[in-house]
Amino acid sequence: MGRFDIWHRREGAIKMGNDASGREDEEANNGNETAAESSNPSQVEDNSKQRQLDEVRENAEGERLTTDHGVPIEDTDDSLKGGERGPTLMDDFHFREKMTQFDHERMPERVVHARGTGAHGYFQPYEDPDLGQYSDISELTKAGFLQDPNQQTPVFVRFSTVVGFRGSADTVRDVRGFATKFYTEEGNFDLVGNNMPVFFIQDAIKFPDLVHAIKPEPDDHIPQASAAHDTFWDFASLTPESTHMLLWVLSDRALPRAYRMMEGFGVHSFRFVNDEGTSRFVKFHWKPRFGLQQLVWDETQKIAGKNPDFNRESLYETIENGVYPEWELGVQVVEEDEAERFDFDILDPTKIIPEENVPVRRLGKMVLNETPDNFFAEVEQAAFHPGNLVPGIDVSNDPLLQGRMFSYQDTQLNRFGSANWAEVPINRSLAERHNNQRDGFMRHEINEGRTAYSPNSLEDDYPRETPEAEGGYVHYPEQIEGRKIRERPDAFDDHFSQARLFWNSLSDAEQDHIVSATHFELGKLEHQEVKERVVYELLNNVDHDLAVRAAEGIGITPPVDPGNHLPDHDDESPALSMEHAQLETIESRKVAILAADGVDVNHLNSVVEALDARDASFEIVSGSLGTLTGDDGSEVAVDANHPITGSIMYDAVFVPGGEESVAALKGTGEPTHFLAEAVKHKKPVGATGAGTELFGTIDLPEAYVSEDKLSSNAGIVSAPSPDTLDEFVSEFIEAIEQHRHWERDVEDVPA
């Protein structure tokens, strides 16, 4: 019997909330724990938030249907009428309640970051992090959740696109939001960042202009989830401070393969403050365990049609398969008296601190290990605010961050229609809440006592303030002096040096992708003068060759000379290139296996076993759903058929041998296109035995395959002889580790 008779894919890794060995067993083991004990701040651990959410979870299994007020319902399919053909009656309270609730199910979507998803997990500090000149994390900050390597602090993370509406596609060219809520013993800390370390503007007062420019144009409401239109590039071309960010958005960073395969950044400079009151500037970084991987532009367009939920689905799938996304939290630390040594202002959100100048110190890891039970309740109602700070962390005077401190609180009032948004379960802190805020729409808490003011004598002046020595939050007492003005520091005026640094740091392939992106983005514009300003005033002050290549693709005269503000440096920062962040792992990658009846099960199992051993997944793709019959008579389950999938959904493609199977694949155009498209997108592809014949249908250059021996060239791995199966598997795994093979020449491949 073939292996596929008894096993096809990992079935044991199911959602924790439904796993008999998950929360429910844990609750049974802790049956004596009271609700008060579970909310005690000293008891915060990785599953504390889930226990808190259990108090509001509802499960209808085995229950009877009721109204919102608990009245059992006998019939929910027919409204109450005066006779079979008569009018609906006003005393049908069930119909009115059911319809009213439906009519009010939606809340206002976010103005930006509307399209998103999220997951639960935990953060755990490292036992002995490399802090360079600092002996201990307590020397840097008194933030409690960063201190104890044995403590796991619950987190909820929301990933998002920025520009598109809630129903837009996941794979658009855009910044990705990366917002993390830490449910710490000292209250909630929200690190509300992006997958890019800089932003378009330096001052928050420009944010409404930026968003109005990049959103669909107001006359026809086109385009959706795209910056490729005149109003955005008109704004950008007249706002040179956006140049650095524009290059990031035109780069592969704007097309992440998956949320687990992108970095995160706090963007702004923050402060760490220790017990002695010493402050240091820090920049927050999230470093992904699975490395940095991207899609290519052609893929993103096709995925948006085949599966607009691609990134959302991938996040859920990996977690529920037990391969948990993971990041390291790191900081760049700058002493206050060293902040002036840079040739830029660290308060400028359009600038980075190169990692080669100030290394990222890894403080701990974050693991996402549970998907939400209800998307609306947990993801849509998750509300973040940069002003949610804990002792030991403070904000800087970054003018964009300062504006966000107001804006996020204000936007939650609009979305929730109430100041009580912090009482929504997903937003509620694990630390106990006691204050004199009262009432308002949808208040949940029942506040006991007769006083709601301070000072008071009737309740012995409770709740009382907490001194700093006992954990009370105290803002860093920065000395501030100056005139009341609307100006920016002179150091904010250099808009091109770091844009050039970014460009210089990229590989040839990454630079080619930016040029191609300019051809699409600017090629969509109707106004010639806007195209010219972008090329002549922005790109030509970053790199002359970039400006020339961009101009050649959009129908404007290339500039003859470099721009007047072109920086006089050729500096590079290798950390900015995605190719330098490749990791030797295939963990969480997904491989498509093209097969039909008669597939060689030995070839199939050899590759599947290697993938499974490395926590990669696979799907059998065939002409129709159901099962295939292997060459040994065993049954092979089919995961996807060609109408619902394509090579764009996978990281690699494998074609196993089997004369009958390969003949069937060659007999239709879909498998050939599937393979050719993967080759065109420079993904790893492999074939064994008769499967190598499929390469002959896609006009591959002869140098890439051999008719009689094992070959591996530019990620194309071919093993015509079964004698080299083990070597093939090793070479194929190595090819998958590289993700893309940019050196591959695919000019003549038809896809």
Establish whether 113 is a catalytic residue.
yes
Q: Which helix (H) or strand (E) holds 544?
A: helix 544-552
Burial of residue 439 (number of CB atoms within 10 Å: 0-12, 13-18, 19+): exposed
pLDDT, residue 43, reads: 75
Burial of residue 548 (number of CB atoms within 10 Å: 0-12, 13-18, 19+): middle
CA 542 to chain centre: 28
Nearest alpha-carbon partner for 514 in 249, 148, 185: 249
pLDDT digits (tens, 9 = 90+) for 217-231: 999 999 999 999 999
Between 310-320 and 297-306, two packed helices, what is the crossing angle to 10 degrees? 80
What residues does 370 pair with on adjacent strands? 120
Nearest alpha-carbon partner for 113 in 230, 202, 207, 236: 207
Place of tokens 């599966």: 307
Catalytic residue chosen out of the listed positions 47, 94, 113, 495: 113
Integer Cα distance of 283 and 266 in angstroms: 6
Nearest alpha-carbon partner for 557 in 527, 525, 539, 535: 535
Say yes or no to pLDDT of 34 above 90: no
Q: Hey, what are 89's tokens?
A: 């009656």
Catalytic residue chosen out of the listed positions 47, 94, 188, 194: 194
Nearest alpha-carbon partner for 522 in 508, 536, 509: 536
CA 660 to chain centre: 42
pLDDT, residue 42, reads: 55
pLDDT digits (tens, 9 = 90+) for 253-290: 999 999 999 999 999 999 999 999 999 999 999 999 99
Summarize the chain as % helix, strand, coil (round to 5). 35, 15, 50
Integer Cα distance of 436 and 103 in angstroms: 34
pLDDT digits (tens, 9 = 90+) for 516-575: 999 999 999 999 999 999 999 999 999 999 999 999 999 999 999 999 999 999 999 999
Integer Cα distance of 387 and 401 in angstroms: 9
Burial of residue 42 (number of CB atoms within 10 Å: 0-12, 13-18, 19+): exposed
pLDDT digits (tens, 9 = 90+) for 96-125: 999 999 999 989 999 999 999 999 999 999
Residues belonging to the chain? 751
Q: Hey, what are 115's tokens?
A: 């399209």
Establish whether 194 is a catalytic residue.
yes
* Phi, psi at 176, each rounded to 5°: -115, 130
pLDDT, residue 708, reads: 84
* Phi, psi at 590, each rounded to 5°: -125, 130
337-357 CB burial, b ≥16 within 10 A, e <16:
eebeebebbbbbbbbbbbbee
pLDDT digits (tens, 9 = 90+) for 701-746: 887 888 889 999 999 999 999 899 999 999 999 999 999 999 998 8
Q: How far is CA 262 from CA 254, 372, 703, 727, in A?
A: 10, 21, 34, 32
pLDDT digits (tens, 9 = 90+) for 584-632: 899 999 999 999 999 999 999 999 999 999 999 999 999 999 999 999 9
pLDDT digits (tens, 9 = 90+) for 181-225: 999 999 999 999 999 999 999 999 999 999 999 999 999 999 999
Nearest alpha-carbon partner for 352 in 338, 332, 336: 332
Q: Hey, what are 619's tokens?
A: 């799907």
pLDDT, residue 247, reads: 98
Please say whether the beta carbons of 607 and 615 come within 8 A.
no
Integer Cα distance of 516 and 252 in angstroms: 11
Integer Cα distance of 592 and 126 in angstroms: 37
Place of tokens 């995925």: 303
What residues does 34 pair with on adjacent strands? none
Say yes or no to pLDDT of 39 above 70: no
pLDDT, residue 492, reads: 97
One-letter amino acid for residue 272 of the chain: F
CA 373 to chain centre: 19
pLDDT, residue 580, reads: 85
The alpha-carbon radius of gyration of the chain (Å, integer) is 29
Q: What percent of the chain has pLDDT over 90?
A: 90
Say yes or no to pLDDT of 4 above 80: no
pLDDT, residue 724, reads: 93
Please say whether the beta carbons of 189 and 389 come within 8 A.
yes
pLDDT, residue 702, reads: 80
* Phi, psi at 381, each rounded to 5°: -90, -5
Integer Cα distance of 270 and 64 in angstroms: 52
